[in-house]
Amino acid sequence: MKIAVAGDSAGEGLAKALADHLKDKHEVAEISRTDQGPDAFYANLSDRVASAVLAGEYDRAILCCGTGIGVCLAANKVPGIRAAQCHDTYSAGKAATSNNAQIITMGARVIGAELAKDIADAFLSAAFDPEGRSAGNVKAIDDVDAKYNKV
């Protein structure tokens, strides 16, 4: 699986730890931010990564900031993206199986690297079943997205 991992100034250490952990099992791209210009802001970094996921450059992505909230909000502004903030393994698995999330987000000031690695593994090992019980809910999410974003 092709995975993008990125973090802002608060999340780049956690993002690096996750990328290093995942490299043995996946094709991992570490998306770097800049200290100046548009990518200095987590919203723009999130947009760049989410847009690349939507374009098929990556299968999934993990974004990190201080809380995981800002990068999640920004990623979800990209029409067609479903990003979920996850600070436990159960939610990470469900983000994939129940919500067909392409991106999870985590806060480096909220959880440690070892738990983050477990969360990433739970997310990346889970798959959405388009014929499953949650398919209707995901379709409804996509319909709301299309209503406002004209995907």
Per-residue tokens: 133: 């019980």
- Among 64, 65, 72, 86, the one annotated catalytic: 65
Hey, is 101 helix, strand or coil? Answer: coil
Phi, psi of 99 (to 5 degrees): -120, -5
Q: Which helix (H) or strand (E) holds 103?
A: strand 103-107
d(CA 39, CA 47): 9
Let me know if 65 is a catalytic residue: yes
Give catalytic residue positions. 65
